[in-house]
Amino acid sequence: MSSSTPWTVDHIGIAVPDIDAAIALYASTAGTAVTLREKLVDRGVELAFLNTGGTKLELLMPLKDDSAIARFLAKRGPGLHHVCYKVDDIRAEMARLERLGAKLIDTTPRPGASGTLIAFLEPSSFSGVLTELCEYTDS
């Protein structure tokens, strides 16, 4: 029971303590530019999406000490936080993954950046990597 089409890597999430420094680093090294920057105050995180020639990068910086990103940084330091795959039908994929026994963090999709629906999946179900699914709903 496989997915009909392979998932496409949409972006790679990187946890950083200083988003301005990381934006400047990737601009000078990888030649990226910010395409979207957003503070999600309720989730305690500031995001910046960077355009590479292909898969996007998402920088994530904590806005408060009790946020999930702050706990991640305190425990593991800066680095790879999650991989996000773009899917055509997020609800169908989540149902299929549940049937396969994968553990879902979000049991229903929620709004993400740029008119997406997103859901996170447990790292233990994906080779130790926190995994995000996204569906673009307005294109």
- Residue whose CB is less far from Co ion, 13 or 44: 13
Pattern of binders to Co ion over 11-30, x per CB under 5 A?
Answer: --x-----------------
Verify binding: residue 84, Co ion, rule CB under 5 A. Answer: yes
Min CB(102)–Co ion separation in Å? 18
Nearest to 133 by CA among 124, 108, 79: 108
Only segment of 23-31, 32-40, 94-102, 130-138 that touches Co ion (CB under 5 A): 130-138
Min CB(127)–Co ion separation in Å? 17
Helices (H) and strands (E) in the chain, counts: 3, 8
The rounded Cα 29 to chain-centroid distance in angstroms is 22
Q: By rule CB under 5 A, what count of residues binds Co ion?
A: 4
3-class secondary structure, 15? strand
Pattern of binders to Co ion over 51-70, x per CB under 5 A?
Answer: -------x------------
Q: How far apart are CA 73 and CA 15, in angstroms?
A: 7
3-class secondary structure, 60? strand
